[in-house]
Amino acid sequence: MKKKVTLVVPCYNEEEVLPLFYEEFCKVSRELQKFEMKVLLVDDGSKDKTLEIAKALSQNDSRIKYLSFSRNFGKEAAIYAGLKNADGDYVAIMDADLQDPPSLLPEMIHAVVDEGYDSAATRRVTRKGEPPIRSFFARRFYHLMNKISTTEIMDGARDYRLMTKQFKDAILQLSEYNRFSKGIFGWVGFQTKWIEFENVERQAGETKWSFWKLLLYSLEGIIGFSTVPLALVSVLGLIVCMIAFIFLIVILVKTLCFGDPVAGWPSMACIILLLGGIQLFCMGILGMYLSKTYLETKKRPIYICGETNILKGREENEEI
* pLDDT of res. 31: 86
Q: Do residues 140 and 38 share a domain?
A: yes
Distances 197 to 66, 102, 130, 158, 241 between C-alpha atoms, Å:
28, 12, 15, 11, 50
**At 56, which CATH number?**
3.90.550.10
Q: Do residues 153 and 262 share a domain?
A: no
* pLDDT of res. 41: 93
Judge whether 61 lies within some domain. yes
Judge whether 43 lies within some domain. yes
Distance from C-alpha of 231 to C-alpha of 233, rounded to nearest angstrom: 5
Domain that includes residue 235, residue range:
228-298
Q: Do residues 127 and 260 share a domain?
A: no
Q: Do residues 154 and 57 share a domain?
A: yes
Give the three-state DSSP class for 209.
coil
* pLDDT of res. 315: 43
Judge whether 319 lies within some domain. no
Q: Do residues 268 and 158 share a domain?
A: no
pLDDT digits (tens), the chain, 320 positions:
788 889 999 988 888 888 888 988 888 888 888 888 899 999 988 888 889 999 999 888 888 999 999 888 888 889 999 999 988 889 999 888 888 888 888 888 988 888 888 888 888 877 666 667 767 767 777 677 767 777 777 777 788 889 998 999 998 988 888 888 888 888 888 888 888 888 776 555 566 566 666 677 677 777 776 777 777 777 777 777 777 777 767 766 776 776 655 566 556 766 776 777 777 777 877 887 887 787 778 888 888 888 888 874 344 444 45
Q: Do residues 62 and 134 share a domain?
A: yes
Judge whether 51 lies within some domain. yes
Which residues, 6+ apart, have CB-to-CB distance to 177 below 8 Å?
A: 295, 296, 298, 299, 300, 302
Q: Domain tally for the chain?
A: 2
* pLDDT of res. 113: 87
Judge whether 287 lies within some domain. yes
Judge whether 218 lies within some domain. no
**CA neighbours closer than 13 Å in the CB half-sphere of residue 92:** 28
* pLDDT of res. 158: 83
Judge whether 217 lies within some domain. no
Q: Do residues 10 and 57 share a domain?
A: yes
Q: Counting every residue, how long is the chain?
A: 320
Judge whether 13 lies within some domain. yes
Q: Do residues 159 and 244 share a domain?
A: no
Q: Do residues 255 and 204 share a domain?
A: no
* pLDDT of res. 145: 72
Q: Do residues 40 and 118 share a domain?
A: yes
Which residues, 6+ apart, have CB-to-CB distance to 18 below 8 Å?
A: 11, 41, 50, 53, 54, 57, 96
Q: Do residues 243 and 155 share a domain?
A: no
* pLDDT of res. 289: 82
One-letter amino acid for residue 45 of the chain? G
* pLDDT of res. 40: 93
Q: Do residues 112 and 162 share a domain?
A: yes
